[in-house]
Amino acid sequence: MKRLILLISALFLVSGCMKKKVAPERPKEFPFPEPPKERLLDFDLPDLEGEYTRIGSLLGKVTVVNFWATWTTPCTTEVNYLKRLYKKYHPKGLEIIGVGIDYSYRLRDFVRSHKVPYPVLVGNEEIIRLYAPEGIPYTLILDKDGKIVYKDTGFGPEMVKEFKACIDRLLSE
């Protein structure tokens, strides 16, 4: 019996040593402090080409920040809506930033195939924990001072009117 246990233990040990170690494509966590309740933190995330973008660089603009993933239908439905919103409101000063929660190659493929016109950053579990703890899609609308004036989880037809009214009001200020 002892030999059997030793043999099984040795097999587990050897199989664990033979596993190929693959470096993750994106970091799992960033050292972010807890977010304030009414402002979005000024954090950096990589875009799809690996260049870091500072969210705080958008101060002075009405900004939609959408946390999403390629593998959920509500997220991809909202991305399609945000594409139309961007086309209509970007010339009037609206910025949209997508924060994709997936591997960068999957996000890149999705953005290309769906022709997403706005910047998409590569998020991670820590960003979701801090900003979208209720789940995704999770959308924030920030005023020109960076204050969160709208937030919602999920996506549905009832949100379209709320989005539009909020954005129209903020862009007219």
pTM summary value: 0.76
CA distances from 20 to 24, 81, 85, 105 (A): 12, 41, 44, 20
Is the pLDDT assigned to residue 37 strictly greater than 60?
Answer: no
Does the pLDDT value for residue 131 go beyond 80? no
Amino acid, single-letter form, for residue 125: E
Rg of the chain, C-alpha, whole Å: 20
Read off the pLDDT of residues 69-86 as tens digits, 9 standing for 90 and up. 999 999 999 999 999 999
The more confident residue out of 129 and 32 is: 129
Tell me how far apart the terminal alpha carbons of the chain are, to the nearest angstrom. Answer: 78
Provide the residue ranges of all domains of the chain, joining segments of one domain with +.
36-172
The mean pLDDT of the chain is 78
Tokens 């949209």 correspond to 96
C-alpha–C-alpha distance, residues 78 and 39, integer Å: 23
pLDDT for 88-124, tens place per residue? Answer: 999 999 999 999 999 999 999 999 999 999 999 999 8
- Percentage with pLDDT > 90 across the chain: 46
- At 28 the pLDDT is 37
Give CATH for domain 36-172: 3.40.30.10
**Coil, strand, or helix at residue 79?**
helix
The DSSP secondary-structure symbol of 13 reads H
Q: Which residue has the higher pLDDT, 59 or 30?
A: 59
- Picking from 128, 61, 133, the residue whose alpha carbon sits closest to that of residue 99 is 128
pLDDT for 43 beyond 60 = yes
Number of C-beta neighbours around residue 47 at 10 A = 17
